[in-house]
Amino acid sequence: MPDVIGWIWSHTALVGRTAQEHAILSAVALLLVLATSLPLGFGLARTGRPATLVVAAANTLRTVPSLALLVIMLPILGTGFLPSVVALTLYGLPAVLLNTIVGLREVDADVVEAARGQGLSEAQILRDVTIPLALPVILAGIRTAAVQIVSAATLAVFIGGGGLGELISSGLALMDMAQLTAGALLVALFAIATELTLGTLQRSFARRFGAPA
């Protein structure tokens, strides 16, 4: 078993830099996913055929491997941070978009009608009824997208995006098992921490609003 802890301890500057790159890359991609998929999901939740077409396109996008998306960006945007972020955004977008549409559509129509009967405006119904009830499902999509992005960001190194994948690729090139294992371990810990944090948040909202986690 390679001395992973010893390697990390003796390369703290490299680990810190690549971890920071990985975190920034993942965070920016996730923010872009939220900024695009949430408004789109809210807009499509009450439509018919347009939503069906978008859902079909999103499901198709989910089948494309993350490395393929990254490679597709090469002739379009070149190498570096921007193409990596764009590819990761496209990779994470379907999960949030689909869960937003599903979550909003699954809100009980009788509950909405009851709120409307009490004199609430459409804006109040959306804010106080629809969004809280749909939020656990939406958060499940965000959690899935976040873990996918954190994991896929490991491959961004192949198009100059940096991140913890640099430790893995360098470890492979140098046949340095300690470096390779350290990179893989750090990515796994990053993904697990993301899953646990967002999973806890999702369950908290589910308990608060009486929705399934």
Residue 32's CATH number = 1.10.3720.10
> Does an H or E element contain 45, and which?
none
pTM of the model: 0.87
Alpha-carbon distance of 124 to 89, in angstroms, equals 31
Number of domains in the chain: 1
Three-class SS state of 64: coil
Low-confidence ranges of the chain (pLDDT < 50): none
What's the domain range around 131? 4-209
pLDDT given at position 210: 57
Tens digits of residue pLDDT in 29-79: 999 999 999 999 888 887 766 667 877 887 787 777 888 888 888 888 888
